[in-house]
Amino acid sequence: MEQPFVKIYFKTIIQGRLEFGTVKSFNKIYKMYTVRAESYYKNELIFTAEELFDEDKLTLEIPRYVGQVSEKVYKNTASLLDYCAQFAVAGSIRSWMSDSGKIMHYNLMEPTSDKAAVQSFLKGRKLVKVEGKEEEAIAALTKAIEKYDRHAQAYERRAKVCFRMRNWHDAKRDYSKAIGIDPTIPTAYYGRAKVNMMNEDWQEAIDDFNHTLKKSIALQSVYWKARRLKAECHLNLKQYEEAKFDLKLFSNRKFGHDDPNNMFKRWAKFKYADLLVDSGEALEAIKIYTEALEIEQFGPKDISDAEILRQRGIARKEAGKSGHVKDLKDAIKLGDKKAQGILSDWSKSR
């Protein structure tokens, strides 16, 4: 007997926005979307034209779509959205299809046409990545903005360069401008939050990091960067329960081999374990300190073996577990002076 055909559906996330700039371009792509949806794709798409296009703003907008669709429907939709992007003057749309937390497909749909604003932005974005080319990057991105003053991505990239040049005022201005035009860009909130951190405006930074988390997804590196830095802000405000929550999530996350968040796993576990000890959860803290010791030391926030051994020794004593003296002695051998003082105090109190 022939087996019935079973459609398999996968989790799909799509978000973003395209700006067309003129009524002529908007009307043309609206018509083409409708025609192609019916003739090329037989309407096997996630969205109808009415769900996407905003005639008043001259945009195509997907604040966030999360659903279960077939692979064919996903590919059809991504293909048609990419087609639409070539008529746009600014913006971008990102889409993900995943199965059991693993990415099957990722698509970035953005303008690559020969329009002046598009080409200036692409040139500027490329220069942003080149050390020593900051002034050239700013010039190209400024040109893109002059050609189309609602170019949110150009403002966001220019802000990044200003931040790198330690020009906090202009960076915050441009990040805010990008957010005002397109509130779906997570990196704009993330960048502004970092400016707020430099100014020690911890609560404002937390608010922006919360927006970053809402506008990004857990499959993106920026989501976890925001989670970690948000924890730092909570620590500065002595909001320890909030910091513990963020550090726990970050510590438990498995990142890809090339993900920059890996550089902070050791630090995050160490800080999380410290907070566990402070809240009376020393037994769990011992486990987390041990996990931190097993992570290779690298990155801008290195925590030494000696520090971890000292703190694990304290946690073991708090939990009534053996090995606490050995941990401190091992820390002392590695040059930890604080461990020496703690061990002396323990000896006196016997």
Q: Report the pLDDT value the prediction gives residue 1, as an integer from 0 to 100.
A: 53
Q: How far apart are CA 11 and CA 30, in angstroms?
A: 27
Give me 60's structure tokens: 């195509």
Give me 22's structure tokens: 């003129």
Give me 44's structure tokens: 């096997």
Is the pLDDT confidence value at 269 over 80? yes
Q: Report the pLDDT value the prediction gives residue 257, as an integer from 0 to 100.
A: 87
The whole-number average pLDDT for the span 171-184 is 96
Model confidence at 35, in pLDDT bands (50, 70, 90)?
Answer: very high
Q: Report the pLDDT value the prediction gives residue 5, as an integer from 0 to 100.
A: 54
Q: How far apart are CA 187 and CA 229, in angstroms?
A: 13
Is the pLDDT confidence value at 346 over 70? yes
Could you tell me if residue 38 is left (phi over 0), alpha (psi between -120 and 50 degrees) or otherwise beta? alpha
Is the pLDDT confidence value at 37 over 80? yes
Q: What is the DSSP letter of 323?
A: T
- The pLDDT tens digits for 223-247 are 999 999 999 999 999 999 999 999 9
Q: How far apart are CA 112 and CA 91, in angstroms?
A: 11
Helix (H/G/I), strand (E/B), else coil: 19: strand
Is the pLDDT confidence value at 126 over 80? yes
The Cβ-side half-sphere exposure at 86, using a 13 Å CA radius, reads 9
**Which residues, at least 6 apart from 78, have a Cβ–Cβ distance to it below 8 Å?**
95, 105, 107, 109
Give me 107's structure tokens: 């698509």
The whole-number average pLDDT for the span 317-340 is 95
Q: How far apart are CA 109 and CA 78, in angstroms?
A: 8
Is the pLDDT confidence value at 300 over 80? no
Is the pLDDT confidence value at 2 over 90? no
**133-137, 253-257, 278-282: range with lowest mean pLDDT:** 253-257
CATH homologous superfamily, domain 239-350: Tetratricopeptide repeat domain (1.25.40.10)
- The pLDDT tens digits for 75-124 are 999 999 999 999 999 999 999 999 988 899 999 999 999 999 999 999 99
Q: Report the pLDDT value the prediction gives residue 100, as an integer from 0 to 100.
A: 87
